[in-house]
Amino acid sequence: MRPSRRTVLTATGAATAAACTSGGTAEAAPSAGSSSAVAPSAGAAAPPGSRPPATAQPPTRELRALLREIDPDRVEATVRTLVSFGTRHTLSAQDDPVRGIGAARDWLLAELRSYAEASGGRMTAELQSYVQEPGPRIPAPTRITNVVATLRGSVTPERIYVVSGHYDSRVTDVMDATSDAPGADDDASGVAVALELARVMARRRPASTIVFAAVAGEEQGLFGSAYMAQRFKAAGADVQGMFTNDIVGSSTADDGTRDPYTIRLFAEGVPSSETAEQAAIRRSVGGENDTATRQLARFVRDVADNDATGMNVRVIYRRDRYRRGGDHIPFLERAYPAARFTEPAEDFAHQHQDVRVQDGKQYGDLPEFCDFAFIARVARVNGAALWTLAQAPGTPRGAKIVTTNLTNATELVWTRGTEPDLAGYEVVWRETTAPEWTHVVPVGDVTRHEVDLSKDNVFFGVRAVNAKGLKSPVAFPDPQS
């Protein structure tokens, strides 16, 4: 039975009134014919009184088993090994076997190749390299090399998801390529996340392709990630999600307070790649909070904010922090959905600092200031998102709201996916002021559905469902006249 306009509005009004009376948060009750996740997460990370979104997906047994294999000791070993190379500055030695970015590069490649040996040929590891011409922070032609492992999907290999960290490091002077630059938190921690996921997933068969990358040149200008993103773009690659992990190594802020069960996820609103035509549509119908990147961030909350990861995912509605930038930005600039994971509150004495003791205080990005159990939990958040993305259907394409006639009902259309295990679709909706989807309406294996609710009053979306019940990220519809 379809939800009627009367039942929907009654439920919404009742929930709002109840929230105002109790001081809680309004969440509309599911109407007839809809389903809504209401069971709270069992994880200790969830803040008191919080509820999962209506679109939340409980972890499968397969996913729980995968996440249990993530090992804090291996994470720590990766961070300490990268620190042991002294400096990993992009302009440091590339041919020294024990010190500099070249030594780190060679170790990373050997490590990823060792994981690939357990993959039965599904994973390959390679160096992705080019020469960057001189410019700001690059005084002479410099070889920039990414270390990349690709785990090819077994069902839809053309669909790609990327996770990265940057392995270059720096001290106070961004051009100082000789001083010790441990880079434990920034960003051996992010590289450790990507490597640990590569190790754990290499022995499994994702339906779609997952790319694990350690990129260089981040501190000099996002050069490695820009090169990787451009290679994907030039090849016409279907990258449906990218996560960079940058500064994910500590749960302790500069004032000593700790928040070991929260990770921030930065997700932009107005797209970096937006065209004038797209901007005009956005201005006319809204959607600043419904870009593909924001839907990707909601998906992370749906699948990774639970007891299987032990983490609370705090989505930040920004591309990045003030005066900072990360390796997701080149992907955003090429119209790929991408977001950045960063620890909950930073201690700037342990980032971009010369290693020294000043006024009795230790400065420098040293491994003793990292929380390796925290990094492992961040890896679990990434793992939950990546594995579910790879196993679920792709984000629906061609989602539109039909606007041919003026009516108080809403007709949605979309293009059917090609996944062999595709089972159907769900329509989701929420109030325009709500941050999360609040209602889910299963509509079956169709490409058109009408909801007796005005498109002028709420936001709608469409997501795909496969035979195992895994759901895709939501597609936000454009108007179709």
Is this prediction's pTM over 0.95?
no
Contacts of residue 16, defined as CB under 8 A and 6 or more positions apart, other chains included, come to 26, 28
Cβ atoms of 459 and 435 within 8 Å: the answer is no
Residues 255 and 345: their CA atoms lie apart, in Å, by 10
Cβ atoms of 254 and 200 within 8 Å: the answer is no
> What pLDDT is attached to residue 406?
85
- CB-count exposure of residue 283 (10 Å: 0-12, 13-18, 19+): exposed
Q: Any idea how long the chain is?
A: 481
Closest-CA residue to 199 (of 102, 78, 303, 104): 78
> In three state form, how does the secondary structure of 393-412 look?
CCCCEEEEEECCCCCCCEEE
State phi, psi for 209 to the nearest 5 degrees: -80, 135
Residues 397 and 414: their CA atoms lie apart, in Å, by 6
Report how far Cα 436 is from the mean position of its chain's Cα atoms. Answer: 17
> What pLDDT is attached to residue 4?
55
Rounded to a whole number of angstroms, the CA Rg of the chain reads 23
> What pLDDT is attached to residue 354?
96
> What pLDDT is attached to residue 2?
53
Spell out a b/e string for 449-477, using b for 16 or more CB atoms within 10 Å of the CB, else e: bebbbebeebbbbbbbbbeeebbbbbbbb
- Could you tell me what percentage of the chain is helix, strand and coil, using 3-state DSSP and rounding each to the nearest 5? 30, 25, 45
> What pLDDT is attached to residue 3?
53
Residues 59 and 81: their CA atoms lie apart, in Å, by 32
Closest-CA residue to 32 (of 9, 3, 55): 3
* Structural tokens at position 72: 């804090």
> What pLDDT is attached to residue 261?
98
* Structural tokens at position 304: 């990774």
* Single-letter amino acid, residue 91: L
Cis before 187 (ω within 30): yes
Pairing of strands 397-402, 156-166: unpaired
> What pLDDT is attached to residue 405?
85
**Tens place of pLDDT for every residue, the chain, 481 residues?**
455 544 444 444 444 333 333 333 333 333 333 333 333 333 344 443 367 899 999 999 999 999 999 999 999 999 999 999 999 999 999 999 999 999 999 999 999 999 999 999 999 999 999 999 999 999 999 999 999 999 999 999 999 999 999 999 999 999 999 999 999 999 999 999 999 999 999 999 999 999 999 999 999 999 999 999 999 999 999 999 999 999 999 999 999 999 999 999 999 999 999 999 999 999 989 989 999 999 999 999 999 999 999 999 999 999 999 988 999 999 999 999 999 999 999 999 999 999 999 999 999 999 999 999 999 999 999 999 999 999 999 999 999 999 988 899 999 999 999 999 999 999 999 999 999 999 999 999 999 999 999 999 999 999 999 999 999 999 999 999 7
Residues 29 and 41: their CA atoms lie apart, in Å, by 18
Contacts of residue 282, defined as CB under 8 A and 6 or more positions apart, other chains included, come to 270, 274, 288
* Single-letter amino acid, residue 311: M
DSSP H helical ranges for 30-133: 61-68, 72-83, 101-116
382: number of Cβ within 10 Å = 25
State phi, psi for 390 to the nearest 5 degrees: -70, -30
